[in-house]
Amino acid sequence: MSRYGQFCPIAKATELLGERWTLLIVRELMLGTCRYSDFQRAMSRISPTLLAKRLKQLEGAGIVVRKTRPGRNAPDYFLTPAGKELSPVIENLAVWGMRWARSQLGDDELDVEFLMWDIQRRIQTGMLPDGETVLCFIFADLARHRSWWLVANSGEIDVCTEDPGKDVDLYITSSLRNMVEIWEGDLDIRSGQRQGLLKTQGNKHLAKTIAEWMGINPYAGIRPGDPRMMRIAAKD
């Protein structure tokens, strides 16, 4: 049964995409996430049952297709051509969110698992030295998930919550909030280093070039809109 009882195309689209977590799943698909386990990493607060339900709904709506690759039992998920047409929707939501829905972050929004997953997939591996590079991020204010290791080799990066037993090339220490603010573009990474809000120890070249290889949030350059524009009627 139709949720809104309207033939309006916005109502029909919202019936498909308006459920909790659905657009974030589409976001992940746009960013190249295709494995069930990786969806869980990127959205650690969604239950496995709900994730499976949402993927099934998207598949039924023709937005997602499920494929099982040779040698693997678990299927991967990919956008269909119809799903790819949502790209400008996700892009515009990201831009609008950075400009108008950006406010002081509550502690419950500081998701370290999503942060490290996003850092892992955006590190500019071409800016790292040849061979294996091991980075250790330490969030001094956390009791759980305090340390994270990123192991980069041949353009691939593995993220670990347990010590992989490898020599660390660079330790990066900050509070979770400061790292999120750096990632969101609210705190310049070099300013953070100068102020002691982000500390590095280890390979001097990696520490010096961190702003180049970290590859922060691509929307970080979008500044918050003027709050006055949220209190007046728009002109035609």
Torsion of CA 156, 144, 29, 188, to 10 degrees: -80
Closest residue by Cα to residue 189 from 125, 119, 141, 142: 119
* Domain(s) of CATH 3.30.1050.10: residues in the chain: 107-213
The span from the CA of 233 to the CA of 79, in Å, is: 38
What are the tokens at 178?
């400061």
Buried b (16+ CB within 10 A) or exposed e, 62-82: ebbbeeeeeeeeebebebeee
* Domain(s) of CATH 1.10.10.10: residues in the chain: 9-100
Q: Which CATH superfamily hosts domain 107-213?
A: SCP2 sterol-binding domain (3.30.1050.10)
Q: Mind listing the pLDDT tens digit of every residue in the chain (236 residues)?
A: 678 788 899 999 999 899 999 999 999 999 999 999 999 999 999 999 999 999 999 999 999 999 998 878 889 999 999 999 999 999 999 999 999 988 777 888 999 999 999 999 999 999 999 999 999 999 999 998 999 999 999 889 999 999 999 999 999 999 999 999 999 999 999 999 999 999 999 999 999 999 999 988 889 889 888 888 888 877 76
What is residue 77's three-state secondary structure? strand
User: The whole model's pTM is what?
Assistant: 0.88
CATH no. of 9-100? 1.10.10.10
For 29, 102, 110, 215, the CA distances from 105, given in Å and listed in that order, are: 25, 8, 7, 22
What are the tokens at 30?
């746009």
